[in-house]
Each structure stands twice: as structure tokens, then as C-alpha cells.
A and B are shown apart, each in its own frame.
Chain A
Amino acid sequence: MTVVTADNAAVAARPKYGSITKSRRWALRWSYFFLILFAIFFLTPPVYMFITSLKTSAEISAATNPWWVSNPTLSNYIELLTQNQYLVFFRNSAIVSVCVVAITMVISVLAAFALARMKFWGSATLATGVFLTYLIPETLLFIPLFKTFAFIRDALDIELMNHWWTLIILYPTLTVPFCTWIMIGYFASIPKELDEAALIDGATWGQTLTKIFIPVALPGIIAATIFAFTVSWAQFLYPLAFTTSTDQLVLPVGIVTTLIKGDVFNWGQIMTGALLGAAPPLIIYAFLMDYYIAGLTAGATKG
């Protein structure tokens, strides 16, 4: 509120265009009014998750105001975090995401450097191909991959189905194309003079990459890392199709399939689990918001 008045004062202090000032003030008021409305719409589900997570099952099923907690309790959190199963989901998710991020960044930084700076036969086609791959959704690929895994089991006796580490092989299909694409954009924006100077001084291509490109394009690398992490943390279809035993599940699928037992929904625990599962991306977002947004807008604006 203080911001509004301060700004109004500043606007009023400007001498000219009285009517514009007035309409501007009204525009500002309406803007805040509608922003508050939209903020309510956008924040209701997460807030309601939090409200429910503080309730006991008895309070949830009582016919009281669902938007209010009369006896806040942390029992749902304590129960979930002492329960081995939930911690296993969390661990699987964490290992898978960290490995996928590492693999993705190595693959996409190397490839983006090669595609942005060291032209080779077919490199332009490959760059377009990378972008096209990004447009192919996982919903198109899971059935043939499912069949391929069955085939590998029969032919080579390697069981890929129902292991959490299989996801480390699968997730790069979702992260690598986009990360390569935005890294190409970031690398291409680095002035040619910089790496030419390095090459003249006798730097190898590897040195040019590690000493010049990676430090200069660090914001892009952080943005791509955040993207890879959030995508692998949130992925739902692949783990649902490829893992089934409870000790192999990752968080999203784990919460959906194990906390919902038959028709009995333990909503207090489901909401707690979902909220804790949403926490890592939210925390990263809270601290690295600018990089997060840079990565988001880079996909469509760079290139």
C-alpha cells in the first residue's frame, strides 16, 4: 500500500497533463485490484494444500469450514518423514534428478559449443533437429520405448523395466534438446573476437570452452540446469509407465499411487506429500528466480 501512495505522490508531483495523471492513478488502482484477484486464483491450490496438510483426518472429514484450521498439527509431516516409503521416493527422485542434470549439462554444453562455434558437416541440420526433438512430446515415445525395453529384456537379458535408474536413461530425452537449444543461443551471443583471441594465444578448443565459454555463459548454464532439474523432478508419465514396485517409485508417482489406497484418500497426508514434493523446485525458484525466468523466456526468444 505504501508503494501505491508513494507512486501516486510522485505522479502528482509531475506538473503537466493533469488528466493523464488522474487516469493513470485509476489504471493503477484497477491494476492492483485485478492483480489481487488473479493472485487469489493462482495461489488458492498451494495455499489449500498447506491448510489441509495441517489438519488431522478427523478434522478433514468433519463438516467444518474447510478453509480454516482449528487444531493445527504437524502430525502429517512427522508421519510422512518418519515413514520409510516416502523417504525412499524422495531419495529416488533426488538421485534421478541430480544424475539427469549432470548428464544433461555435459551432453548439451559440449554439443552446443560444437554447434555454435565449430561448424561441421551437417551441424546446421543438427541444430534444427535438436529443436524439432524438443517439440516431440514424451507421450509419443513411451509406448515404443516400453516395447523396446521388453525386447531388450528378451534379447539381452537386461531388465530395464521397474528400476528407478532406468529413468536416468529416459529423462535426458526431455532435457537435452531444450538445454542444448538455449545453450546454443547463449554461446552464439558471445563475441567471436573472444574465442579467436584465445585460439591465437594457442588455446585448444577444450580450453576455449572451459576458460571462456563456460564462465561467460554461466547465467545460461544456471538457467539450463534449473530447467533440467525441474523437468526431471516433475516428470510423471515415464515413471508411471516404467516403474511399479513401491521401492522404485519417484515422488510424483509415489504420492499418487501409494497414498491413495483404493478409494480411501488420506488427504492430509497426500497434501503434505505433494507440498513437500513441490518444495525443491519452489525453493530453487525462490532463490534463483531471475535465472529461472531467463531460462523460460530463452526457449522462444533466442535462436
Chain B
Amino acid sequence: MADIAVSRAGTMNGAKGRSSLHRLMQRKSTIAFLMALPLILVIALLVAYPAAYSVYLATLNKSMERFVGFGNFTFLFGRETFWLVVKQSCLFAITAVIFKALIGFVVAHFVHNIPTKGQRKWRGMLLVPWVIPPAMSTLAWLWLFDPSYSAFNWILWQFGIDPIPWTGNGSWARFSVILVNIWIGAPFFMIMYLAALKSVPEQLYEAAAIDGATWWQRIWYVTLPMMRNIIAITALFSLIVTFANFDIVRILTAGGPIDYTHIFATWAFRVGIESGDIPLGATVSLFMVPILAVAAVFILRDISQRGNEA
């Protein structure tokens, strides 16, 4: 307070206009810095520091007493489970994102098609999977997939189809994990695409209709180019979230059967926390960084591009 008063007095005197103005600017930036300080502390202490620390941890041995350099990395490269995890993480993320995007796109179109009055109701209903905490809805799926009481198998049984081992067999467990992923994520795409569809000018469609474009041509030559940015950025966001996902696999299969559904996050938890090999767990989770970094670069590029356009 006293500081401000002194500075005010300086401005009043106006003896040295330039330097007091300079001080004023300095004061403003000081206040701004102080206002941003809690944010800086949170980022530095709880995000940047742990991230850097995990790189250091990855170079230690299990008891964390000895420096082993790339020892953990080479150890992982020699393990079959690790390659399984790499394969599954990529498979899950890519398949799930593609289907989320497709379903989101299709559903957004249908919602956009119906009269405006009803859109709110449908949109509200279709976003429910995204609103329920994933841990809770995955429990519902776990129950739907239950080996002895599966409600899906009951329906199949009515049609005379043999029960499906939803979480019991490697391939089916993978399918189930991806299915739950899609179920949770598709509504998010739907909302984003719906917002994008609303921003496409109606005149473009009218022009296309006059030119005799079919519905497919309208989508391909009008809708998609207009939505390209949103499609890309939503897919990238979702790729990051799906790739780093933990809840779904952990609750649905806990990585099983025989590691056939482990992804980086769940395996890192298994190795690092449950088996107590913190350095190896940190190493596993670090393997997520390259893909996250690539996605982040693309998102940032897109955002700065749009910043320039505006």
C-alpha cells in the first residue's frame, strides 16, 4: 500500500514524467505477476517438478539408490509385456478415437437435421455418458459384461446365440474396453461437431442444393471442409485423453486376462505402485510422452494459426 502511495505521489509531482510512467508500468506488471503467482506455483510444484522428477526417477534402480542410466529402458525393451502394452495402447487410442469421431459426426448430423425445438432435448439426453463419472459408468458396463449374469448375454440367449466372454477372453476384452471408451467419448465429439455444424452458413448448403449436389457431396464438399479445424482439434484432444486413460481399463479388466488389455497408465500403476518398482513405473509412464508431445504440437499449431487469422 505504502509503495503504491509513493508511486502515486511521484506521478503527481510530474517532475520526471518518463521515469514515473516507467515505474507505473512496472507496478502494473508486478501486480499482474503476483496475481499469476498461485498459478505459477501450482504448475511449477505439482506439474513441472513431478514431470522432471519422473525423468530422474527413470534412471534409478528399483531400490532407488543407484544410477542405472538407460537401464530401465533397455530392460523394458527386452520384455514381451512392454511391447504388448505399446501395441494395445496405440490400438485402443486409435480405434477408439476413430469410432468416437465417426459416431459423433453421424449423431451430430442427425441432431442437426431435426427441428430446432427438439434438438435441446436430444442433445441433453445423448450427452449423459460424458457427464457420469467414468468410474461409475464403467462399473455399470462391468455388470453388463458379468461372466454369469451378463444382461447382454441374456439378450443373445433369447436369440439362441452362445454367450460371449466379454471380459474373459483376450480379443473380446479388448473389444469391450474399446466399446466403453467409445461410449464415454462419442458424446463429446457429438457436442463439438454439433457446435461446428451450427457455424456453417446456411447459404453454402443452399448454393450446393441449387447446383444439384447430393447429400453425400454436400457433406464432402461443404460440411467437412468447414469443420476441418474442429474435427482435427477434437480428435487430438481425445487422442491424448484416450491414450492416457486409466479408469476404464483399471475397473473393467484390471489389465487382464493375462495382460491383454494393459495400457501404459494401468501398467505403470501395476509396476510402480502395486509392485513397488517406482523407477520402472516412471519409465513406463514416460513412454506416453512422445505421442502426447506430437498431439500437443499439432494442437498448439492449430491454435496459433487461428490466433493469426483473428
Interface residues of A, Cβ cutoff 8 Å to B = 3, 7, 20, 27-28, 30-32, 34-35, 38-39, 41-46, 48-49, 52, 60-61, 65-67, 106-108, 110-111, 113-115, 118-121, 123, 126, 128-133, 135-148, 169-170, 172-173, 176-177, 180, 205, 230, 233-234, 236-237, 240-241, 252-253, 255-256, 265, 267, 270-271, 274-275, 277-278, 281-282, 285-286, 289, 292-293, 296-297, 299-301, 303
Contact = CB atoms under 8 A, between A and B. Distances in A.
A262 to B, nearest CB: 14
B246 to A, nearest CB: 5
A44 B195 CA distance: 25
25 contacts: A3-B117, A45-B140, A46-B137, A49-B136, A49-B140, A67-B151, A111-B40, A114-B32, A114-B36, A121-B29, A135-B240, A135-B292, A135-B299, A139-B246, A139-B268, A144-B282, A145-B50, A147-B57, A236-B250, A241-B273, A255-B136, A271-B139, A278-B136, A281-B133, A293-B191
A45 B183 contact: yes
A20 B264 contact: no
A141 B33 CA distance: 26
A275 B123 CA distance: 21
A286 B124 CA distance: 8
B78 interface: no
B306 interface: yes
Nearest to A267: B143
A188 to B, nearest CB: 10
A288 to B, nearest CB: 11
B39 A137 contact: no
A123 B32 CA distance: 9
B300 interface: yes
Interface stretch (B11-19, B65-73, B108-116, B169-177): B108-116
Interface in B113-140: 113-115, 117-118, 120, 122-137, 139-140
A277 B268 CA distance: 27
Contact of B237 (A111, A120, A142, A300): A300
B91 interface: no
Closest 3 CB pairs of A and B: A234-B133, A137-B244, A118-B32
B284 to A, nearest CB: 9
Interface centre among B50, B133, B233, B303 (most CB of A within 10 A): B133
B54 A42 contact: no
B226 interface: no
B107 interface: yes
Given A128-B300, A137-B240, A277-B133, A110 B35 contact: yes
Contacts of A297: 191-192, 195
B272 interface: yes
Interface in B283-310: 285-286, 288-289, 292, 295-296, 299-300, 303, 306-307
Taking residues whose C-beta sits less than 8 angstroms from the other chain, chain B's interface range is: 35 or more
Given A110-B39, A137-B240, A137-B288, 20 more contacts: A45-B129, A46-B132, A48-B144, A107-B38, A111-B40, A113-B35, A120-B28, A120-B30, A120-B36, A126-B39, A126-B40, A141-B46, A177-B43, A236-B133, A278-B131, A278-B133, A296-B192, A297-B192, A300-B192, A300-B230
Nearest to A233: B133
A256 B237 contact: no
Contacts of B125: 39, 42-43
Contacts of A255: 135-136, 139
Contact of A136 (B51, B127, B146, B149): B51
A38 B182 CA distance: 12
A270 B117 contact: no
A140 B54 contact: yes
A139 B124 contact: no
Contacts of A66: 149, 151, 154
A32 B114 CA distance: 8
A31 B114 contact: yes
A34 B114 CA distance: 11
A170 B46 CA distance: 7
A118 B35 contact: yes
A7 B282 contact: no
A299 B302 CA distance: 13
Contact of A135 (B38, B149, B295): B295
A48 B149 contact: no
B133 A303 contact: no
A300 B28 contact: no
A131 B303 contact: yes
B110 A139 contact: no
Contact of B247 (A35, A65, A236): A236
A143 B303 contact: no
Nearest to B111: A35
